[in-house]
Amino acid sequence: MPAHPGRGLRPYHSPVDGFKGVRAVRNGGIPDTIAGRSGDGSGDGSGDGAMENVLGVIMGVSLLAAYRLFRARRPGDKPLMAVVLVLAGLAGAAMGFNEPIAGIVAAIGGLVVGLLPPYLAMAAQLARLRGEGRLSLWLERVAVLFQPGAIRRLHFRIAHTLLLARDRRLDPAEAMRRLGEAESLVGPGAAPAVVEGIFRLHAQQGDWRGLRARFERVGMSDEVLFGLPFGALSLVARAFAETGDVSTASRIVDHMAKALAENLPHSRSPGESGELPDAYLDRARIALLASLGADPSRFLTRGSALRPLFTRADRDAMVARAGAVPTPGSWSPDAGRIESLWTVLGIQKRLPTFLTSFQAPAPASAVLAAVSAAILLLVMATGSSMDAGHLLRAGACLADRVREGEAWRLFSSMFLHGGPVHLLVNAAFLIQVGNLAERLMGSWRFLAVYLVAGLSGALAAVVLGQPVVMVGASGAISGIFGAGAVMVFVSRGRLPRRWVNRNLGAFLLTFLANLFLGLALPMVSLSAHGGGFVAGIVATLVLLPARRLPGWLRRVGVVLVLVGWALAASWGIRGVAESWRRSVTDLVPLRTTVVRVVSRTDRDDAAQATIAVAHPATWARITRNELPGSPPGWLGAKGQLFRVEASCGVRWVRSLASGDEPLDSVDGAALLETVREANRDRTDLVFREGPTGWALVETNDPDGGVSITAHKAFPAGAVHLGYRFEPGSRDRELMEGMLEGTRLERCDSP
């Protein structure tokens, strides 16, 4: 993903003119428009239209969400309906009326409302399954704060009621009443969640007999079982096991397994994750195994996908319960039941899920995410992680630098990120998808694919993508995404069908969503994603036969992977160390973009001035639409070119008391002397001669920055530029090169 230099930096309007008393016969005004055409492949317009596309996506998704909420007609959705309509309105106002503040609020709001609550809800569901009521309530509280819809409000109210009852601040009868009232938020569809809440009320008080009695009052029939959500069924099975009726508990567990295996229609709580029923079933299986006298600890070891389903207290209780029950003899029906559970749990412990990926991440995935986080902290400690120049210094990828022999940037850029949000999104996706892929293919093949995909994605971005500063592990993660899809597909014969179908469907939907976002958002590098994705698939297919190789050959492969990573890391570290020592003028390449501006001639006629403008490759092109009210130009993290003007066919004169005196030869020194003389009453200005005939006028700003106007006469007219540099900006060192590369090419009458 390319870095976006200057994000959040305000467009600057300099008070410095430098032409007091120095005028043309007719002065051209500020140009109304600026239209760019490629100079020598600048490609710097990575931000042109980017904000409009982002806002368009936010408005479209918000309106679609509002429509779906309207169709659902849930009473408790009114607050969320208001939120999404406000987001759509802000995005529309930003696009239609050039309101940048509205656009920023819409972008941040869309990110928070759309991305954060689903992760919080998933974590809250896992906490509820584990019986962690306080954590579940806290997560639901934050989720409902950002997404105040009926479903999240329902689960928050249930969690709040259960916690009050557990802490004995609410008697059971009042808790039952409040749980019943929560149904009004969603309507009849809330019944499964309310029933599960009532059953959980018994369970958290250890009232297993009361829960069993409540269930037995309606009787155990297929209709009743299919009408209960899996969370409620797991609690009922536990109640029968705890009260000595292991046979009935086994029947309930069998029903849950059959319903999932055959994809039978079953009651589910609203907003429930697709993986949650499987998690409840696995939890019920472990509890049943312990009730039969078999120690389940072998399925709850570190690294097991089942371990996160239980708290430490739960695991200890299961082991203790298994030790208290006599082990059945081989003649007992329970022995066959134990063997069946052992077989299925042996498979399930190796099957990763998105639900538990953060609690039990695969080792290599977790290490890669941690290394990226550590590097981001180092980058932020030494500068801004949103400054493209600083990122380039720290090892970011830029096509210009790679083509000049700095291929090590293909590796180092994989561990850099443009801010904490960029890192969090990539790390979350890596841990979720990497957890699945790594468990299926093994850590060493996973690391090999990650390295190949990351390098291939960065190379594809250099060859096919926009020539902008690139950072992020998107190429490598896309490769792992492709590897995970391949591994699920080739392993489909030996894995549960439901698990395979669910994950292949998730891969397809995620692929389509990423493709849509890549097409809609210019800041997402489709070339890096696509290159990494294809390379990941190819590398995985090449490495598939490794499972059938002799052990010594597999060990040789492990050594080769380690050597490859060691060489790549050494390569990248040496490159970053050298880059860090380089001057900014040696590090940041300059590009030239040819623009056309509207000017006025000495006869007051409109003219088109064509100017070749030199600018750093780390600065982003801005337009009036993106930054309303500001002149067009280029924007960096600590510097900007905010003014680009021309005066065509203008004859320069000096205003004197005796009249206007023409300047026959306007070279840099003469122009500078004239400007200085005209502004002799200004003590706040600093005048100096720039390179190649430019006259520079500087002033220090109250915040410690500096503003500079630059002026130069050409045969066809004059060019006027305005620069602004923030305090401590190293980009000021690039100004001489920018001026040397800027020229007025021609002036055309309309």
Residues with a catalytic annotation lie at: 474, 529
Q: How many residues does the chain have?
A: 750
Assess contact for 296 and 318: CB atoms under 8 A. Answer: yes
Q: Can you read off the two tokens belonging to residue 68? A: 């779906």
Which residues make Cβ contacts (< 8 Å) with residue 594, sequence separation at least 6? 36, 37, 38, 39, 610, 611, 612, 613, 745
Outline where 170-293 has alpha helix (H): 172-181, 191-204, 208-218, 222-226, 230-242, 246-261, 276-291
The dihedral through the CA atoms of 404, 409, 411, 413 has a sign that is: negative
Parallel/antiparallel/unpaired status of strands 706-714 and 717-725? antiparallel
Q: Can you read off the two tokens belonging to residue 351? A: 């099957």
Distance separating alpha carbons of residues 168 and 173, to the nearest angstrom: 12
Distance separating alpha carbons of residues 230 and 280, to the nearest angstrom: 6
CA 544 to chain centre: 31
Distance separating alpha carbons of residues 195 and 179, to the nearest angstrom: 9
Distance separating alpha carbons of residues 162 and 197, to the nearest angstrom: 7
Q: Can you read off the two tokens belonging to residue 227? A: 């009408």
Parallel/antiparallel/unpaired status of strands 34-37 and 590-600? antiparallel
Q: Which of 723, 703, 700 is nearest to 634 (CA)?
A: 723
Sheet with 34-37, side-by-side order of all strands: 34-37, 590-600, 606-616, 743-748
